Amino acid sequence: MEDYRNKTKKVQIGNVCIGGGERIAIQSMTNTKTEDVEACVAQILKLEKAGCDIIRVAVPTMEAAESIRKIKEQIHIPLVADIHFDYRLAIAAIENGADKIRINPGNIGDEKRVRAVVEKAKEYNIPIRVGVNSGSLEKHLVEKYHGVTAEGLVESALDKVHMIEEMGYENLVVSIKSSDVMMCVKAHELLAPVCPYPLHVGITESGTLLAGNIKSSIGLGLILSQGIGDTIRVSLTGDPVEEIKSAKLILKTLGLRKGGIEVVSCPTCGRTKIDLIGLANKVEEMVADIPLDIKVAVMGCVVNGPGEAKEADIGIAGGIGEGLLIKKGEVVKKVKEDELLETLRQELLHWNE
């Protein structure tokens, strides 16, 4: 398998480096008004705590662009300004300290306006993310390919990249997004071999928590597993903190990021005698801030629990009145039912002793 990720150019975004084999960065986007500095900062700090590496904010007004400076003073991760239509907002965002700007050169205006943005980015030496979306594919490409297609998305992206290159700037990141999962996958397969710049990967407009997670997991999984993608976002309609949780789990599942406890649990059956769903949720919440790279199993019965938990480093199996503490598939002790959670917690807190 070609590992395109190790061959892309390295790009510095604030204090985070992407591309060239660097760790895949997790991005999200605020859903607060950027003009509301207090609310925006509060949400970004929550995202930082959850594990967000790079944050993007919408810049629809000059007030939003000017708010970037105040926001930057209070956060610790790179900030990307998302610009549409008005090139002056891009210039103002750069002047107010944005670490990167995201534009679609096709809707910024004529070449003169695009050049003004490029020159300002060059002056401040910040990257431009060239973003192409299936919802705004140029009419002539829709006609050329008889509809919105992966080929059209790639041609659109490369046209815009070449335009900026001809203006003398190569500090670029590229993204092509679609809500059609398989179209998005195909587009990345076509783009990766011919694009030297880091790729930001995501399934746009993927939906609410359930649908969005499923579509993003399939799409990102297919793309990332081919060695494509330097940064990712799981786009969800809801609390952006959920995007970070999902992105971390996708990367961990693919073996692309280590760290954090992985919780596995059985799906329950007629043998289950305890509230396993509630217990598993409590375990997930409990281990969220414990810095171990291990697997924890939460099983529903003492009959099959030990065998099914043998691939985990540690686990618990519930039963009426008492349960089991299990390590590597071996029962190490019986525990009162109401002490299972605390027993597991103490084992984890003293794991390396």
Residues annotated in the binding site for [4Fe-4S] cluster, as ranges?
Answer: 266, 269, 301, 308
Coil, strand or helix at 11: strand
Q: How far apart are alpha carbons 267 and 305 in whole angstroms? A: 12
Of residues 79, 119, 75, 116, the one with CA closest to residue 96: 79
Give the other-Cβ count within 10 Å of 16's Cβ.
Answer: 18
Of residues 177, 168, 170, the one with CA closest to residue 231: 177
Burial of 204 (0-12, 13-18, 19+ CB in 10 A): buried
Q: How far apart are alpha carbons 349 and 331 in whole angstroms? A: 19
Annotated binding-site residues read: 266, 269, 301, 308
DSSP state of 19: S
Integer angstrom CA distances of residue 63 from 66, 85, 88, 89, 101: 5, 16, 12, 9, 16
Q: Label each residue of 72-126 as H, E or C.
A: HCCCCCCEEEECCCCHHHHHHHHHCCCCEEEECHHHHCCHHHHHHHHHHHHHHCC
Coil, strand or helix at 148: coil
